[in-house]
Structure 1
Amino acid sequence: MEKMRISSVSIADIEILQQIGKDTFFETFSANNSEEDMKKYLENSFSIPKLTAELNNPDSRFFIVWDDVNAVGYLKVNFGQAQTELQDDTAIEIERIYVKSEYHGQKVGQLLYEKALEIAEQEQMKYVWLAVWEENQRATRFYTKNGFVAFDKHIFRLGDEEQTDIMMKKELR
C-alpha cells in the first residue's frame, strides 16, 4: 500500500466527495437503520447542491485521504456559524471523520483527526468538539483515546428515528 496523503477538497472534487460520503455513511450506519431512511438521508445529505453549498461556505473545510488513487476517507471541519450546534468562535467542530471499512485499523482516522488538530492550532482555537452516535462504540473509544470528554447530548434525526449523539470536546489551551 502506498503512503496515505491528504488533500483539500474543491468543487472539482465534488463527485468524489459525494461518493466517499455516501459510501462511508452507508457502511457505518446502514445496519442500524431502515433502507428507506438511509436512502432518503444519503440523497438529501450528499446531494450535489448541498455539498456545493457546504464547499462554498468559507467556515467549512473538507479533506480527503487517498491511498494512491483511491479516496479512502474524509474530514469536514466547521468554524463560526457553520458549526452545527455550538457556533463558538473559539472552537472548531469536527463534523465528519469517515473512513471506508476496509481501511479501519490502518490509522486513516488518526491521520484525519491530526489534520483537524493542525487546523485548530493554526486558527488558535481553544477547543475542538464533535458529536458521535451513542451506539458507535468504535468512534467513542477513538475520541476518548484522543483526549475527548463527553459534555452534553443532542438528538440526531435519521428519517423518522431520533438517535442520541454524545457531544464531546477536547481543550487545546
Structure 2
Amino acid sequence: MPQPLIRRAGSADADVLTAVGAETFVETFGHLYPETDLRRYLAEAYALDRTRADLADPAKASWIVEADGEVIGYALAGPCALPHPEVTPDCGELKRIYLRRAWQGGGLGARLFGETMAWLQARGPRTVWLGVWSENHGAQRFYARHGFEKAGEYDFHVGDTVDREYILTRPPVSFSTVTTKTALDEHNLA
C-alpha cells in the first residue's frame, strides 16, 4: 500500500476540504452534541464560503491528506485568533488537524503536524498556539510531547452547547528543530 500523500490545498480543493472537515468533526465529536447544535455549528464552521476564504487568505494554509485517491484528513494553520492576552499579531495557530479514525495512530498525524509546524515557522521562529477540547486527553499528550503547555481556557460553542477548551502554546522553535523532532517522533510512533 502506498504511503498517504500530504499536499498543500488550493482553491480547487474547497469542496473536498469542506466535506472532510465536517465529516471528521462529526466522526470525532458528533456524539457529544444535540443534532440541532451540531447542524448549526457545521453550517457555520464548515461553510463552503468560509473554506474558500481560508484558501484565498495568504496568511493561512491548508493541507490535504490523501490515500488511494481518497481524502482522509486535513489541517489548517494561520494567524492566532485565540482569546488569550499574550497573543500578538506575530503568533501562529494550528487551527484544525483531523484524520479519519481508521488512519489515526500510525504516525500520519505526526507527519501532518510536522508540515503545519514547518509552515508556521517558515518565516522565522514564532510562538504557536492551539485550542484543544479539555476532554481530549490523547491530543493533549501529543501536543505536550511537541513542547506545548497549557496557557489558559475558553468556552467553545457548538450551537447552544458550550465546551471547555484548553489554550496551549509553544515558544518559538526553529524550523530545523521542528523537522528533526517530528522525524524522531514519527520513527518512535511507527
Q: TM-score, normalization: structure 1?
A: 0.91
The residue identity in structure 1 corresponding to 2:169 is K
Aligned mates of 1:116, 1:51 — CA distance in 2: 17
* Per-residue CA distance 1:36-66 (angstroms, 9 max, x = gap): 1111111221111121122222211110111
Aligned mates of 1:139, 1:52 — CA distance in 2: 27
Q: Which residue of 2 aligns with 1:7?
A: 7
Q: Which residue of 2 aligns with 1:50?
A: 50
More strand by percentage: 1
Q: Which residue of 1 aligns with 2:62?
A: 62
Aligned mates of 1:5, 1:170 — CA distance in 2: 27
Unpaired runs of at least 5, structure 2: 174-190
Aligned mates of 1:55, 1:101 — CA distance in 2: 25
1:1-173 aligned within 5 A: 1-79=1-79, 83-85=80-82, 88-173=88-173
Aligned mates of 1:109, 1:33 — CA distance in 2: 25
Q: TM-score, normalization: structure 2?
A: 0.84
Alignment: residue pair count: 170
Unpaired runs of at least 5, structure 1: none
Deviation at 1:126, TM superposition (A): 2.1
Aligned mates of 2:158, 2:122 — CA distance in 1: 34
Deviation at 1:32, TM superposition (A): 1.1
The residue identity in structure 1 corresponding to 2:90 is T
Among all aligned residue pairs of Structure 1 and Structure 2, give the percentage whose two residues are the same amino acid: 27
Aligned mates of 1:75, 1:153 — CA distance in 2: 22
